[in-house]
Amino acid sequence: MTTTSDRPLRHAVIGAGMAGILAAIKLKHRGEDFVVYEKAAKIGGTWRENRYPGLTCDVPAHAYTYSFEPYPDWQAYYATGAEVQGYFEHVVAKYGLAADIRFNSEVTSLDWDSAASQWTVTLADGTAEVFDVVIAASGVLHHPRLPEIEGLDTFAGRAFHTARWDEHAPIDGARVGLVGSGSTGIQIVTAINKKVERLVHFQRSPQWVMPVPQFPYSEEDREAFRRDPALIDAIRFADEYIGNIRRFTDAITDVDGPQMLAIEQICRDHFETSIRDPELKEKLRPNYRAACKRLIYSWCYFEEVQHPAVFVETGRIARVEPHGVRMAGGAFHELDTLILATGFHADRFIRPAGVTGEGEMTLDRFWATRPTAHYAVTLPHFPNLFMLNGPTGPVGNFSLIDIAERQWDYIDQLIDLLRKGEAAAVMPTVEAHEAYEERRVAAAKTTIFGSGCTSWYLDATGVPSSWPWSYDAFADAMAKPVLSEYAIRARVG
């Protein structure tokens, strides 16, 4: 459906990952004028950047699609990263979006012009264009965080971050070191343990693991999904998935409630019954509550970590030397390859692009304490700038596509004010946002994420950077913006 707007708007979408592609589909459907800026040469965002062995999306594949674009061709209940990338490439081709995306175009600054109510978007090559609306869909986890380990640059073999996977690094029959036991490190253990001569997994914190089923779909299954989309709906809307989301968000917001206790019990039983060697068991026993860190969903980690080629090293790393890693206790692990699964700078969002809004307010200044956004989507001082999967949105083991779609519905209603000529600029008031953020921070501190562990969910002050209420509360908030919380500025003239 194409609507006629009495004020044709130009939209800039930043990023051609999952959320940017969503915005592009929605804008194209409306017949709007838009450009997607993508810094890389390909679409896909995190699914383009991450190519490490074992990469699997921890949301069931049929639930990790756009709601309007189900996909019958998944190979298994949980899809590999390459498959997910293939899905997004399929969607971009189907919706004919390639021509709308400017590749190799990194946005380096956004500058608001109050008089014109427009953003100037400047690219790395120095060119600039003017837009009425900016949609920041630049992702969360895309700036690799390298560990501060002495001597890292002296390593004689290949050492690299998991999001910069080195295809030429020896793995097969090699002595491999792996630093980090987040979702990434855990998945890599399960994928390379049988290929290496020896895998030393440097684990600073052990993980709770939620056991989940994994099974392949046969060609017959896929044919059935193609013939009858109701079979796909039966999976993506199943209580097993949707019910789990609700139970999970209830659990994280009611840390002593029945749902949380049930999750803890499942994880504890899985742990107690899976690890055979008592010494390894103590190394793998977490000393914090399940789901405090992002919960590991796996069907095989505990089995695979017990493979004889794997050694879990829990000592403190003293330094990296040319031929391996020296522990604080003096032990030395000789290594050919060193993989750094040490996570990402999760507080960057659209930065390092410089963003300057009204009254010369910069994003760095506005986010000096922590990255925040009104209901995770809009920002005071920065009119007509909308974030998809921006700071303090829901985090957990569920589909961020669903979250982005709901955020889009909210954003679209605000853009509508501009489209209809009812406003030239829209942003939350400082007062409304401060009141919201005060409530959010207070609630976030009481969630399971704030129950005493380290994780990328925490901001620099130790407060969980997440939506701290239920999934349904999020759905309700996204259904309709509260316009009294917004400064809606009319067009001049």
Integer Cα distance of 459 and 479 in angstroms:
27
Cβ contact 199:29 at 8 Å: no
In the list 45, 60, 86, 185, the residue contacting ligand NA7 (rule: CB under 6 A) is 185
Nearer to ligand NA7, 149 or 196 (CB): 149
Q: Does 143 bind ligand NA7 (CB under 6 A)?
A: no
Integer Cα distance of 34 and 104 in angstroms:
17
Whose CB is nearest to ligand NA7? 182
The CB density around residue 213, as the number of other CB atoms within 10 Å, is 9
Integer Cα distance of 204 and 179 in angstroms:
8
CB of 198: closest distance to ligand NA7 in angstroms?
19
Binding mask 287-326 for ligand NA7 (x = CB under 6 A): -------x----------------------x---------
In the list 182, 390, 393, 481, the residue contacting ligand NA7 (rule: CB under 6 A) is 182
Cβ contact 395:294 at 8 Å: yes
CB of 484: closest distance to ligand NA7 in angstroms?
35
DSSP conformational letter for 204: S
Q: Does 92 bind ligand NA7 (CB under 6 A)?
A: no
Cβ contact 245:252 at 8 Å: no
Listed in sequence order, the residues at least 6 apart from 180 whose beta carbon sits closer than 8 Å to its beta carbon are 147, 162, 202, 204, 340, 341, 342, 343
Angle between helices 244-253 and 471-479 (to 10 degrees): 100
Q: Does 205 bind ligand NA7 (CB under 6 A)?
A: yes
Q: Does 189 bind ligand NA7 (CB under 6 A)?
A: no
Q: Does 454 bind ligand NA7 (CB under 6 A)?
A: yes
CB of 252: closest distance to ligand NA7 in angstroms?
14
Q: Does 428 bind ligand NA7 (CB under 6 A)?
A: no
In the list 143, 204, 268, 323, the residue contacting ligand NA7 (rule: CB under 6 A) is 204
Partner residues linked to 159 by β-bridges: 338
CB of 346: closest distance to ligand NA7 in angstroms?
8
- Intra-chain end-to-end CA distance of the chain, in Å: 31
Q: Does 147 bind ligand NA7 (CB under 6 A)?
A: yes
Listed in sequence order, the residues at least 6 apart from 360 whose beta carbon sits closer than 8 Å to its beta carbon are none
Nearer to ligand NA7, 205 or 446 (CB): 205
In the list 14, 25, 110, 149, the residue contacting ligand NA7 (rule: CB under 6 A) is 149
In the list 56, 80, 117, 184, the residue contacting ligand NA7 (rule: CB under 6 A) is 184
CB of 452: closest distance to ligand NA7 in angstroms?
13
Nearer to ligand NA7, 138 or 184 (CB): 184
Q: Does 456 bind ligand NA7 (CB under 6 A)?
A: yes
Q: How many residues interact with ligand NA7 (rule CB under 6 A)?
A: 20
Nearer to ligand NA7, 27 or 149 (CB): 149
CB of 182: closest distance to ligand NA7 in angstroms?
2
Nearer to ligand NA7, 67 or 454 (CB): 454
Closest CA to 77 of 191, 221, 280: 221
Query: Applying CB under 6 A, which part among 79-87, 178-186, 302-310, 430-438 lies near ligand NA7?
Result: 178-186
Closest CA to 336 of 159, 154, 147: 159
Alpha helices in 309-357 (DSSP H): none
Binders in 333-352 for ligand NA7, by CB under 6 A? 341-343
Integer Cα distance of 195 and 180 in angstroms:
19
Across 264-343, the runs of DSSP E, i.e. the strands, are 296-298, 310-313, 317-321, 324-327, 332-334, 337-340
Angle between helices 471-479 and 400-419 (to 10 degrees): 20
Cβ contact 436:376 at 8 Å: no
Q: Does 466 bind ligand NA7 (CB under 6 A)?
A: no
CA distances from 56 to 43, 82, 88, 286 (A): 18, 9, 15, 23
Q: Does 164 bind ligand NA7 (CB under 6 A)?
A: no
CB of 283: closest distance to ligand NA7 in angstroms?
13
Nearer to ligand NA7, 346 or 417 (CB): 346
Quick one: which H or E segment has residue 201?
strand 198-202
Q: Does 413 bind ligand NA7 (CB under 6 A)?
A: no
In the list 180, 211, 390, 428, the residue contacting ligand NA7 (rule: CB under 6 A) is 180
Binding site for ligand NA7 (CB under 6 A): 141, 147, 149, 179-185, 202, 204-205, 294, 317, 341-343, 454, 456
